[in-house]
Amino acid sequence: MAILRRAHFFVSLVGIALLCPVMAPRASAQGATVERLAWKRIIKVDNSGQGDYAKIQDAIDAVPSNNVDPVFIRVEPGVYKEKITVPSDKPFITLSGWKANATIITWDDSGDIFKSPTVSVLASDFVGRYLTIQNTYGSGAKAVALRVAGDRAAFYACRILSYQDTLLDESGRHFYSNCYIEGATDFVCGNAASLFKKCHLHSTSENKGAITAQHRMTAEENTGFYFVGGKITGVKSCTLGRPWGPFSRVVFAQTYMSSVVLPQGWDDWGRPSTHRTVYYGEYECYGPGAERRARVEWSRSLTTQEALPFMTSNMIDGSNWLKF
């Protein structure tokens, strides 16, 4: 019996360790980031009624405005049909499910890309983990699943699903790790500076739909989408991207590309003037869709020296804020 009690105690400690990181960010009165040893507050959301709240938005609303302490919102498995906003005055929130395919946030709005998202993250220092975030509206209109407009946002092992404009990666510095992102048209779009590490992009396009629509407007902006070590699959055919902004910047490095990627690789959206200004690069990609012999001449086959700056978190100043 004593052995069983010790085992139970050990399991409890492991569970606490999984919830509480060794170090978590905290803002000082001067706004600088310092370190803290534990979560200030843990909130449980359970739509069966067994948690602190039954709705995710209610848990977010319970975080005080101008929050300066790390808050962990644990979402129990279930389907949460609600539209969620993390407002800009509530930073340092972690929203975590248990498994992405068991913790589902869903809505079905369409139209305006800033109003249709199922989840809108406007706050800085946000972390999302083990969640499915989906917009089930379908084809025919813009229907964003996830909008990310806060700075220093990170997503781990999330599933982000829609048809058009799935992920509005609007602005700020962001990190996506081991995420699954699905859509048909411009399904990773916006003007953030974002590193996508080991992410799976799945195109549901039936005819040449673009994966990315990056919105960099000037050569001076330090923004772009950088995909490293992931894979691209799909149902029929797609291109890697098209220029929402004239200085659009997208790099794929060490990425598996299935045959759904068309030989030309990239699309100019009917704007040949962007051929001189976009930065579309590929480095050590592989698979049947990675063959570059028929690529558009205004895309780039990067050297190791050219590619390396895009392959680490330095492009998003990650060493200063990424904690996992």
Continuous segment of H or E residues that includes residue 59: helix 56-61
> Which DSSP string corresponds to 187-250?
-EEES-EEEEES-EEEE--SS-EEEEEE---STT---EEEEES-EEEESS-EEEE--SSTT-EE
b/e for 150-187, b at 16 or more Cβ within 10 A? bbbbbbbbbbbbbbbbbbbbbbbbbbbbbbbbbbbbbb
Continuous segment of H or E residues that includes residue 18: helix 2-19
Partners of residue 203 on adjacent β-strands: 183, 234
Catalytic residue among 125, 151, 165, 169: 165
Catalytic residue among 151, 169, 186, 267: 186
Whole-number Å distance between alpha carbons of 286 and 290: 5
- Report which DSSP code applies to 306: H
Whole-number Å distance between alpha carbons of 232 and 214: 17
| Backbone angles phi and psi of 216, in degrees to 5 | -60, 125
Residue at 241: amino acid letter: G
Whole-number Å distance between alpha carbons of 205 and 30: 48
165 in active site: yes
Phi/psi region, residue 172 (left: phi>0; alpha: psi -120 to 50; beta: rest), is left
Cβ contact 158:100 at 8 Å? yes
108 in active site: no
Residue numbers annotated as active site: 165, 186
